[in-house]
Amino acid sequence: MWNYSKKVIDHFLHPRNVGEIENPDGLGEVGSLACGDMLRLTFTLDENGRIKDAKFKTFGCASAIASSSALTEMIKGKTLEEAEKITNRDIAEFLGGLPEEKMHCSVMGREALEAAIDNARGESNGKPHQLEGRVVCKCFGVTEDVIREAIRINNLTTVEEITHFTKAGGGCTLCHDELKKMLEEERGIAAEAKEKEVTVETKAMTNVEKVHRVEELLKNRIAPALAQDGGGVELVDVDKNVVYVRLKGACASCPASERTMRQFIEKELQKEVTQSIRVEEMV
């Protein structure tokens, strides 16, 4: 018997927002009946771009139903930018916690939300972006990329945790040795990145040095990457740890420009300049 919180039990016995919205602005569908879990999330936006209503249909256990119900409550009233910041751990915490063995249910909710947001932005057909890679767990069809991503995002440290979050290794266990190897590799990469981060943080930089470093990164690394998709970026100003930029070309009118700012430009500068740096767009 799983040790469910009162809130999980409540959302399982009295799920909110069950059903499907006709002609939704956003649709996300993840999982499969073959794997035992499936979730279809739909939502509509109001005139201000906030999520007005959200509904779900799910096939799965009590945790899957509760996680889906909680997710619909959490995203109502939020903009797409605010909603996409919700993590699987946020869903679990909203429910007062989930058994570790059921954390994959919150992951399924996060994946459905991401697919629905991409769909609302016209970037997908409602299916999650498929991570490529060879299948490591043949019992549940889990790929190497999915496993490595789960390790990194959730800071997993054991094979058991990998199973809880992805189901990999939960069948015949033949892949356990390979899962252990991936854990060691990813933990080594994380330790190296942390060491680099500390080095960057502790190195004293004058404001002039900071400006030159930002200019160099924008020109030689970030701008060329954006140019591949017809976009661009130019530096406007640097005020302490705030970098003001102007997006150009396709990036200027792209619905996903905010994600580009946060997930690419800002992260690249944080890695090479300082973790406390922020990027703001100038129109």
Q: Is 105 a catalytic residue?
A: yes
The helix (H) or strand (E) run that includes residue 170 is: none
Among positive and negative, which fits the CA dihedral 7, 9, 10, 14? Answer: positive
For 30, the 3-state DSSP assignment is strand
For 87, the 3-state DSSP assignment is coil
Instruction: Please check whether residue 255 is in contact with residue 121, taking contact to mean a CB–CB distance below 8 angstroms.
Output: yes
SS3 breakdown of the chain: % helix, strand, coil, rounded to 5?
Answer: 50, 20, 30
Query: Among 49, 56, 82, which residue's Cα sits nearest to residue 71?
Result: 56
**What is the per-residue DSSP string for 109-176?**
HHHHHHHHHHHHTTS-SSSPPPPPS-EEETTTTEEHHHHHHHHHHHT--SHHHHHHHH-TTSSS-TTH
**Alpha-carbon gap, residue 263 to 129, rounded angstroms:** 16
For helices 159-166 and 176-202, what crossing angle results, to 10°? 100
- Residue whose structure tokens are 């009946």: 33
Q: Is 251 a catalytic residue?
A: no
Residues marked as catalytic:
35, 105
